[in-house]
């Protein structure tokens, strides 16, 4: 899923509120996807994780990079 954000001049109060709402919704869904991804990967056995090339210690980092477009995990 690709996410692009364009910077445009927002003029009215409604535009700003709608933009803030839309940004919050995107962030909410990204966090849900991240949580679901981590939960599902943690359910896999070590053998299954090895088959897909992920070490158990990398699960959160890999899920975060996937959901948040390659950004490193912030602790």
What pLDDT is recorded for position 53? Answer: 94
- Mean pLDDT confidence for 5-26: 73
As a whole number of angstroms, the distance between CA 51 and CA 46 comes to 9
- Residues above pLDDT 90, as percent of the chain: 56
Q: Is the pLDDT of residue 57 over 70?
A: yes
* Residue 8 included in any domain: no
Q: Is the pLDDT of residue 1 over 60?
A: no
The pLDDT tens digits of the residues spanning 22-41 come to 889 999 999 999 999 999 99
* Residue 44 included in any domain: yes
Structural domain including 25 reads: 13-67
* Residue 75 included in any domain: no
* Residue 55 included in any domain: yes
User: DSSP assignment of the chain, as one string?
Assistant: -----------SHHHHHHHHHHHHHHHHHHHHHHHHHHHHHHHS-HHHHHHTT--GGGHHHHHHHHHTTTPPPP-
What pLDDT is recorded for position 42? Answer: 97
* Residue 26 included in any domain: yes
* Residue 4 included in any domain: no
Number of domain units in the chain: 1
* Residue 58 included in any domain: yes
Q: Which two tokens stand for residue 66?
A: 């996937």
């Amino acid at each position: 899923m690709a996410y692009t954000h364009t910077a445009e001049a927002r003029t009215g109060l409604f535009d700003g509120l709608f933009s803030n709402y839309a940004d919050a919704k995107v962030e909410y869904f990204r966090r849900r996807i991240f949580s679901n991804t981590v939960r599902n990967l943690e359910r896999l056995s070590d053998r299954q994780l090895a088959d897909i090339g992920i070490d158990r210690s990398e699960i959160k980092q890999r899920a975060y990079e996937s959901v948040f477009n390659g950004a490193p995990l912030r602790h």
